[in-house]
């Protein structure tokens, strides 16, 4: 995950990138799969936890609320 410029969104955004070539990995398939799992189960519990990590609260809030300056 790193900030990258998206031509589709026309802005910098936190994006999933290939660790080898740094190509952006689109979020549409991920978003569709996540929504399908949430709808077909009892809500967010249908999602798999891939990672639990400590992250500075202020930095995470900047990402979530897009106050980091796109």
Whether the CB-CB separation of 19 and 28 falls below 8 Å is answered with no
* Model pLDDT for residues 38-54, shown as the tens digit of each residue: 888 878 777 778 778 78
Residue 7 lies in a domain: yes
Among 22-26, 33-37, 53-57, 59-63, name the one with the lowest average pLDDT.
22-26
Residue 57 lies in a domain: no
Whether the predicted pLDDT of 35 surpasses 60: yes
The percent of residues in the chain predicted with pLDDT above 70, rounded, is 83
The number of domains in the chain is: 1
Whether the predicted pLDDT of 12 surpasses 70: yes
Cα of 46 vs its chain's centroid, Å: 17
Angle (CA) 26 16 59, round 5°: 130
Residue 26 lies in a domain: yes
Residue 22 lies in a domain: yes
Q: Which residue range is the domain that position 39 belongs to?
A: 2-46
């Amino acid at each position: 995950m790193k900030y990258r410029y998206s031509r589709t969104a026309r802005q910098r955004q936190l994006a999933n990138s290939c660790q080898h070539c740094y190509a952006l990995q689109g979020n549409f398939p991920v978003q569709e799969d996540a929504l399908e799992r949430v709808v077909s189960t009892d809500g967010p519990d249908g999602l798999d936890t891939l990672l639990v990590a400590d992250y500075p609260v202020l930095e995470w809030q900047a990402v979530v609320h897009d106050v980091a300056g796109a």
